């Protein structure tokens, strides 16, 4: 694979950019692999990447029913932060955040990581207490966050209205090295690196069955034929329930639609990410100038990857209280993705009742930020077969043992 660099751009410019090679290969499936990952979203691709990079396992296929990053990875609002309350969460999200810092260099692909700072507004006394508690927990965990005053909030984000009619801004939990990254680029960068290691990224290939013998996985059935393997990773977010069903087990999660929207592009007016969890809306400005706005989940389960009007109205109405300028913006487009939500709002990175079959899911509304850390942990689990390291606390057994990692209240809106 040729390296991307300023020199390569200049050299190719001379030939009107006709000399670039394909970023990743388009292979036909082989009959057998050492490991197969189902799902070419960020988490599946990162798992494959770290299987190769950290454990030297490169005879790997990543099988995707649609296109690279076409699931939630390409539909999210790209907030990256690690200011969680519980120790296992802070550990994996902070590992991920730190890997984002060097991801562009690591993958030789510009993922546009922008550590512009993330603030979670405290707009009730309860939130003030909650975020102060999180700031103390983060200090013990080695995660850099701070509870800041309303005046500092206004300094960092002048378009905020501090004395909102219902919910004045009382402060915020501020993570200066949180931020955003370009979601497609994360998927494309990993895919290119996997392809370069000799892995097969197979798109438009739906998994329709999981084969097994004597309680051990033996392979998968797909729309492009059968592939054998003794190590299978299921990393399909909102479709996890379907795949678990094919493997003969059940998962404690629900699939719901989560929505987002963007406005028309405007001049730069906001260079931080703001989450307003009480009124429930969050916003950042993209490099193109669009205001990227995130809403909530539907109140019912579904597999439809689309937005709905009542959410748009609710989200924008909520945001206008804190950002009056939003009322003057035209909204450009909106969409939905199917997120997989667990009861304790923490992910599952686990062995399954089917031998050789592992699952990574339950990232719900907030897994983009976790992609590199999750891939790192899942690769360790798949290569060693042991639940250890970053994945240790995220096993399926926690739901039987009542050992929840409760981020539902602590994380507020977990995007
Ligand atoms: C609107 C919205 C906003 C969000 N905002 C944020 C945010 O700001 N910050 C944040 O951290 N997170 C956010 N998230 C959550 C985040 O997007 C997800 O947690 C994360 O992208 C999940 O990645 P993944 O790789 O697990 O899943 P996906 O990207 O969904 O990938 C799973 C892949 O599996 C494939 N697949 C499914 N079934 C099969 C099959 N049978 N055969 C083959 N392939 C299959 C799918 O086609 C898909 O490409 C948001 C999500 C949404 C929807």
What residue spans define the domains of the chain?
A: 115-180+254-342
For 217-227, what is the mean pLDDT? 98
> What's the 270 CA to ligand 1 centre distance in angstroms?
27
Q: Give residue-wise pLDDT tens across range 338-382.
A: 999 999 999 999 999 999 999 999 999 999 999 999 999 999 999
Confidence at residue 415, expressed as pLDDT on a 0 to 100 scale = 56
Return the DSSP state at 318.
H
Percentage with pLDDT > 70 across the chain? 98
pLDDT tens, position by position, 117-157: 999 999 999 999 999 999 999 999 999 999 999 999 999 99
Q: pLDDT tens digit string along 147-195?
A: 999 999 999 999 999 998 889 999 999 999 999 999 999 999 999 999 9
Q: How far is the CA of 235 from the centre of ligand 1 (A)?
A: 9
Nearest CA to ligand 1 atom 39: 65
Q: 118: Cβ–Cβ under 8 A, 6 or more apart, which residues?
A: 79, 80, 81, 83, 174, 175, 178, 179, 272, 273, 274, 275
Residue nearest to atom 21 of ligand 1 (CA): 73
Which CATH code is given to the segment(s) 115-180+254-342?
3.30.9.10
Residue 303 pLDDT: 92
Q: How far apart are the CA of 397 and the centre of ligand 1, in A?
A: 23
pLDDT band at 409 (very low <50, low <70, confident <90, very high): low
CA of 64 to the centre of ligand 1 (A): 12
60-79 mean pLDDT: 97
Distance CA 298, CA 308 (A): 9
HEC letters along 137-190: HHHHHCCCCEEECHHHHHHHCCCCCCCCCCCCCCEEEEECCCEECCHHHHHHHH
Question: Tens of pLDDT along 12-48?
Answer: 999 999 999 999 999 999 999 999 999 999 999 999 9
pLDDT of residue 183: 97
Cα(43) to centroid of ligand 1, in Å? 8
Residue 297 has pLDDT above 90, yes or no: no
| Ligand 1: centre distance to CA 72 (Å) | 3
Nearest atom in ligand 1 to the alpha carbon of residue 45 is 25
Is the shortest distance between the CB of 282 and ligand 1 below 6 Å?
no
Nearest residue by C-alpha to atom 33 in ligand 1: 39
CA of 310 to the centre of ligand 1 (A): 23
Distance 187 CA to ligand 1 centre (A): 11
Cα 322 from Cα 317, distance rounded (Å):
10
Give the residue, 58 or 407, on which the prediction is more confident.
58
Pocket test for ligand 1, best of 49, 365, 377, 407 (most atoms within 8 A of CB): 365
Band (411; pLDDT cuts 50, 70, 90): very low
Mutate to test the pocket of ligand 1, among 182, 209, 236 (most ligand atoms within 8 A of CB): 236
Closest CA to 230 of 221, 220, 240: 220
pLDDT value at 309 more than 60: yes
Question: Which H or E element spans position 208?
Answer: strand 207-213
Residue nearest to atom 25 of ligand 1 (CA): 41
CA of 343 to the centre of ligand 1 (A): 18
Give the position of tokens 């932060």.
81
Predicted confidence band at 1 (pLDDT cuts at 50, 70, 90)? confident
Among 37, 38, 39, which is best to mutate for testing ligand 1, by the most ligand atoms less than 8 A from CB?
Answer: 39
- Which two structure tokens, joined as six digits, stand for 62? 């990543």
Q: What is the pLDDT of residue 412?
A: 46
- Average confidence (pLDDT) over 311-329: 90
Computed over every residue of the chain, the mean pLDDT equals 95
Question: Does 235 sit in the ligand 1 pocket, CB within 6 Å?
Answer: yes
Question: Is 277 a residue whose pLDDT tops 80?
Answer: yes
């Amino acid at each position: 694979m040729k390296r991307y660099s300023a020199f390569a751009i200049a050299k190719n410019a001379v030939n009107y950019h006709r000399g670039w090679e394909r970023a990743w290969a388009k292979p036909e499936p082989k009959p057998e692999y050492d490991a197969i990952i189902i799902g070419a979203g960020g988490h599946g691709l990162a798992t494959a990447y770290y299987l190769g990079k950290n454990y030297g396992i490169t005879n790997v296929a990543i099988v995707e029913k649609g296109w690279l990053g076409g699931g939630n990875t390409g539909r999210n609002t790209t907030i990256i932060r690690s200011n969680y309350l519980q120790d296992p969460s802070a550990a994996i999200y902070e590992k991920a955040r730190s890997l984002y810092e060097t991801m562009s260099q690591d993958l030789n692909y510009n993922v546009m990581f922008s550590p512009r700072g993330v603030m979670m507004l405290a707009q009730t006394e309860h939130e003030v207490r909650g975020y102060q508690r999180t700031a103390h927990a983060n200090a013990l965990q080695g995660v850099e966050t701070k509870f800041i005053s309303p005046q500092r909030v206004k300094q960092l984000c002048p378009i905020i209205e501090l004395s909102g009619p219902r919910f004045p801004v009382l402060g915020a939990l501020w993570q200066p090295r949180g931020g955003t990254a370009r979601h497609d680029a994360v998927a494309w960068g990993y895919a290119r690196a996997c392809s370069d290691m000799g892995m097969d990224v197979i798109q438009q290939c739906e998994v329709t069955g999981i084969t097994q013998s004597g309680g051990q996985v033996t392979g998968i059935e797909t729309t492009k034929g059968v592939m054998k393997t003794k190590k299978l990773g299921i990393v399909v977010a909102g479709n996890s329930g379907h795949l678990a069903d094919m493997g003969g087990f059940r998962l404690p999660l629900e699939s719901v639609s989560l929505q987002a929207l963007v406005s028309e592009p405007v001049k730069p007016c906001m260079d931080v990410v703001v989450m307003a969890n009480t009124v429930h809306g969050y916003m950042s400005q993209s490099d193109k100038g669009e205001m990227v706005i995130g809403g909530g989940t539907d109140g019912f389960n579904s597999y439809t990857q689309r937005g709905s009007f009542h959410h748009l109205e609710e989200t924008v109405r909520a945001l206008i209280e804190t950002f009056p300028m939003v009322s003057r913006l035209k909204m450009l487009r909106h969409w939905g993705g199917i997120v997989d939500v667990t009861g304790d709002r923490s992910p599952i990175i686990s062995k399954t009742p089917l031998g050789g079959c592992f699952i990574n899911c339950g990232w719900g509304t907030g897994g983009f930020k976790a992609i590199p850390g999750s891939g790192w942990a899942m690769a360790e689990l798949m290569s060693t077969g042991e639940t250890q390291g970053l994945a240790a606390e995220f096993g399926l057994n926690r739901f039987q043992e009542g050992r929840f990692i409760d981020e539902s209240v602590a994380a507020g809106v977990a995007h």
